[in-house]
Chains A and B, each alone.
Chain A
Amino acid sequence: MITLDRDESAFVTALRTADLDGGPSTSSLVAAARLDGARLRRHRRAATGAAAVASLAVVAVAGVLAHRPAGSPRSDLPIASPGTPHHSAKADHRLRDPHRAARGAVGGLPYVRSMTGPQPTRGLRTSSLGSDDASAPPSGYALLGAPGWTQSGSAGDGKIAYVDGSAEVELVWRTADGFGAKWAEGTVVGRTTLDGDDAAAYEQAGSVTVVAPPRDGWFLTLTGTSGVSVDQLLQLATQVRRQ
């Protein structure tokens, strides 16, 4: 009976003898990382801003409740009841706090400014990466507007998966550096349009991918990942819209 150590040894030997060379070039990886990374940072800043706004809304509601007059509905709630020792102490503290005005004197919100933090300005790019950032695709990349297909999630920063029952497709943005080389080994199995651009469908490694021409350093692919025929994929591609 083979022992575990022999299993491990055999597996390590197989790893060492396997040829795993290849892969993208450093320049293409760095270019893609700069573009994707800049977009990631923008998304993180936007998410931080959204979270701050949500927190602000919660605190604002709490502040409004805390300042309801004594006769208003539900004024018997302990946390919001004016006149309770707890409330009075807090209110008095706010009144005595000399720094309150400087922090934003919204009723019941002494810490508003420090909670919101800097907000990204809509319509302006927030990355500091300069010219590369200008060629980054707009957020949202592209959408599949076919009836019955719903977005099931996103993988990585440039992919959106859609499902329709058991069928699944994947929209992917890729840097133009990989255009051509990646699909050169594939077989063209059909032609269609993708957001008005002529696009070819390639069969490769058992899956079919519609490849759109590059725009602004990026190109879009639509891959049938599960339960989609070539004809279906060609039809679906016509319903993809770049944003």
Chain B
Amino acid sequence: MSVGDDEQKRVDDFTAFVDATAPRLYRSALLLAGDRHLAEDLLQTTYARLFASWTRVRRTGNPVGYARTTLTHVFLSHRRVRRNTEVPTDALAEGDEPHGTAPEVRLDLLAALRLLPPLDRSVLVLRYWEDRSVAETAADLGLSEVAVRSRANRALARLRPHVTQLQEDCS
């Protein structure tokens, strides 16, 4: 088999992976970023990193988990570079119009998540959206399990009034 064939096979394999994982990973990115444009950028950066090491990623046997962890790290490193230029606010950003069946829920949830520090947001997304265990979340984020639990508790308590309001609005 020639080098060109190997490369084409690699690209085809990667394309199939993107096709299978992009919708789910985009939702995770959207929950982390709270903004569609930033979510797309995070997703693009994540896949670029994966593609650059695709053979090695494949060898891990869990490329989906690798992608999830990479996305979280990309988000957190992006946040560090931005150096808190994003100011938490209760007011929703104009122009971030949703599309779908429950726009109010989506907007309010994203806005509420944006109130949280990035690491707390990552903990919630990994724990309750990605359904990762406390131990797995701790390993992904380089935290202790105690830190994951306390951050999750604190973040959920902070979200409590917003989530309660969401439920009342929907009912």
User: Which A residues have a C-beta under 8 Å from some C-beta of B?
Assistant: 2, 4, 7-8, 10-15, 17-24, 26, 29-30, 32-41, 44, 128-130, 152-159, 161, 168, 172, 175, 178, 182, 185-186, 203-206, 225-226
Q: Contacts A26-B19, A152-B83, A225-B85 given: A157-B160 contact, CB under 8 Å?
A: no
User: Which B residues have a C-beta under 8 Å from some C-beta of A?
Assistant: 3-4, 7, 11, 14-15, 18-19, 22-23, 26-27, 30-31, 35-37, 39-45, 47-52, 54, 74, 77-78, 81-83, 85, 93-103, 105-106, 109-110, 124, 128-129, 153, 156-157, 159-160, 163-164, 166-167, 170
| A23 touches which of B23, B50, B78, B82 (Cβ 8 Å) | B23
Chain A residues contacting B11 (CB-CB under 8 Å) are: 30, 34
B7 adjacent to A130 (CB under 8 Å)? yes
Chain A residues contacting B156 (CB-CB under 8 Å) are: 4, 7-8, 11
Q: Contacts A40-B48, A225-B85 given: A11-B101 contact, CB under 8 Å?
A: no
Chain A interface main SS type: mixed
Q: How distant is the Cα of A86 from the Cα of B110 in the complex, in angstroms?
A: 66
B51 adjacent to A155 (CB under 8 Å)? no
| A15 touches which of B95, B109, B164 (Cβ 8 Å) | B109
Chain B residues contacting A128 (CB-CB under 8 Å) are: 3, 7
| 20 extra A-B contacts, CB within 8 A, seeds A22-B100, A23-B39 | A7-B157, A10-B164, A11-B156, A15-B128, A17-B170, A20-B100, A22-B26, A22-B99, A34-B11, A37-B50, A40-B49, A128-B3, A129-B7, A154-B81, A155-B77, A168-B83, A172-B41, A205-B95, A206-B94, A225-B85
